[in-house]
Structure 1
């Protein structure tokens, strides 16, 4: 719990941790803790000897936070707000992401479990966690299909339309699917290649677009678009990556300790939110438009195409990876059978690829955005249960010592109180007209769950 508060204390940024990141950068190829086996620990804790290094997990996380969608968000803020207002909105939204990511990320690293498995012992129970896993799996599989369509369009353009969209989507989708079938190792390989290349390409394109403009003048210039309120802007920042925050444990379970989680989350937010948003805001002011990504990709020729492909690759591998983990928990929770992660990944990848080929996902995107509203309350309930109520703390401690899953002897089948709190939190996020909706929903869900559990502890432990 203490690391949640340290995240806003500057004295936490110790030189030895910065040196640790540098040492990991130099030594990651020789790190004995890298995952070298085919085991991806979908149904059990990640042991300490299978954990990865700080550089690898941070690079994977940065890859998630720096897709072209982030440039779209930054451009939207820049077109509707001044530079200072846009950065303030970025800061407020990032605080929510930092809080949720750190809370769930530290829990994931401590217990070695993915988000959907953690939910089983953080208020939702066995079948409740099945529901959480299903929501995560459907959402991320949908976004996999959306991003695959982006990748396919870029691939088809590269071949002058000779492949056609359907074949391009099939090729791009199956390439990513086969990669992710290798598990966490695939995320590591992809991140080490795609993230540096993506930043090189984006930096080059940004220099081209900003050439001849006075940076100080751009910072002080007035926005050209329709004004956006601070609350709406901060919600857009937090909402854009709230699913990523909720699934932080899927990656942080490979962190060696809690400080590595802090650095992984903090560096990814600094790079993904502040640096990328700042560049996009300046470009939006320079071009007087929020359609920055189209201009970036269309005016930069091969580099623009490469930025599209790299962006889709590095975000889509994580989309499919977390979707397969969540669905694995869903299948095991319903049937009691533990399907191999590799086969689940291949199956889900084929489904997502097929949906993108059929064009269904163009209509599905609105549903995915609406679905994202339910994620903040889930995080609120899990954080309150794990850090304040500590419902399963003894189970976690005993399981950690034996490096196995906690026993389900005293775990409810469905945590009705957690489900009820999520419903109330979602309604609050949608209905309360002041403040930041994402934060409102987290706070209301957490307060309802924690308050009712304190008043009547039997509510959270009731069984069906």
Structure 2
């Protein structure tokens, strides 16, 4: 069982880039990625929805790359890499809380989806009715087992789940194209009309947390290049493929409830089994990162990481029972506003102010860095309330600019004071 929580990963335990890419692919290849494609296509023609999704995932990759390379440099998770930008106590209380809530919320969404799929299997094939809340509870507990064991359990689980969901998606894609025809799909007219900024924001929201917490897994990378490659190869292709499949299934079924769409295509049983596997891999990542955030928040010993992972998943399971899936798009909107500005402040601090230098990063750690906290608040407000542009980009850029302005103004002020 993995014991590393906030301490640096030893060189002997570093992993090759493709091992980390597999973890990222496993987190992308999931039901929620299909649902993001479905959510976007409800308000956009098919081709525009795909373009919006591509832009959204590209935005994620850009800031994820910087976050991931910093994790590879320092060998520690996001709640620690953020300690220079926000201060030791600022990172502990503010960033750990935000990331814990986000990861736990995602666990609840995924457990709800898994519960719905399992209930459908039992009802369709065995005639047994199991309430979705009960299925979500049972599968939430099962998913926690691999999360508690840590990185290696994630790696092995993905060897099974990733090929299975890729196979299901290809079969579903073929079924959609042969049944409904390319022309009908191209001529699809959505019920609503989303703005480009809103649609791209949905795509970013689908993996906004993953981009920010890149260091949780890239800390196992042997170099910056490995961190960059693992994120690029693991996230973008898998995310786009699932987004397209989800959009097509939604066009055909008229709902982004993927279990209903697969049932209409005659893939109910096999589809639901594979969806459970895919959800399992992603939820393990959610519980794992949520556990790390809780360890940081309460300043716990590394050995308590498995227990905190279990608690994170348990809270997420309760949220699943309470029906968090009903608020899926609202949840994505809030994440789009609150999460990316964290990366903006961290990128400004480490890569610009500290020039990507580990020694400068360590020397810059204080208890509370009000510059980072102020820039995060401003980034969040801009992302949430600014009506023009793309909310994620608005949040990242505004928090980054705010951090740099305050940092250099304060630096000049200190220099002037010293001269006098």
| TM-score bucket (shorter structure) | 0.7 to 0.9
Q: Which residue of 2 aligns with 1:117?
A: 80
Contact 1:116 1:326 in 2 (8 A): yes
After superposition, give the CA deviation of every residue in 1:296-333 in whole Å (9 maximum; x if it has no partner): 3323221221133123211100000010111111111x
The structural deviation recorded for 1:388 is 0.1
User: Structure 2: 5+ residue runs without aligned partners?
Assistant: 415-420
Matched, 1:193 2:160: yes
Q: Does 1:325 align with 2:287?
A: no
**Given the alignment, which residue of 256, 279, 283 partners 1:291?**
256
1:339: how far off?
4.9
C-alpha distance in 2 between matches for 1:68 and 1:372:
19
1:391: Cα distance to partner?
A: 7.8
Is residue 411 of structure 2 the alignment partner of residue 446 of structure 1? no
Secondary structure of 2:298's aligned partner: helix
- The structure 1 segments of at least 4 consecutive aligned residues displaced by more than 6 Å after TM superposition are none
- Higher RCO structure, 1 or 2 (CA under 8 Å, sep 6+): 2
Answer with 290-299 or 125-134: which moved more: 290-299
1:272 maps to 2:238? yes
> What secondary structure sits across from 2:193 in the alignment?
coil
Matched, 1:64 2:30: no
| 1:302 and 2:265 aligned | no
Deviations 1:218-244 (A, max 9, x none): 564253332222222111111221111
TM-score (norm 2): 0.88
In structure 2, distance between residues paired with 1:267 and 1:396: 30
Which of 359, 383, 387 aligns to 2:351? It is: 387
RMSD of the TM alignment (CA)? Answer: 2.7
Unaligned runs of 5+ in 1: 1-37, 398-405
Q: Deviations over 1:380-403 (max 9, x none)?
A: 000000100018935368xxxxxx
Paired positions, count: 406
| 1:263 counterpart residue number | 229
- Aligned partner of 2:283 in structure 1 is 316
2:417 corresponding residue in structure 1: none
Output one character per residue of 1:107-142: Cα deviation in whole Å (capped at 9) or x when no partner: 111211111110112x11111111201111122112
Structure 2 CA distance for partners of 1:88 and 1:364, relative to 1, 3 Å: closer
CA offsets 1:152-172 (integer angstroms, 9 cap, x no match): 233334344465555533431
Q: Are residue 242 (structure 1) and residue 196 (structure 2) matched? A: no
Match of residue 402 from structure 1: none
Of 200, 204, 211 in structure 1, the residue corresponding to residue 171 of structure 2 is 204
Is the Cα contact below 8 Å between 1:68 and 1:311 reproduced in 2? yes
* 1:369 Cα deviation after fit: 4.9
Q: How far apart are the structure 2 equivalents of 1:259 and 1:277?
A: 27
Q: Is the 8 A contact 1:205 1:296 kept in 2?
A: no
- Deviation track 1:362-393 (CA, whole Å, cap 9, x = no partner) reads 67765675255211111100000010001893
For residue 294 of structure 2, give the secondary structure of its aligned residue in structure 1. helix
CA distance in 1: counterparts of 2:370 and 2:385, whole angstroms = 22
Q: TM-score if structure 1 supplies the norm length?
A: 0.80
- How far the C-alpha of 1:340 sits from its partner, in A, is 1.9
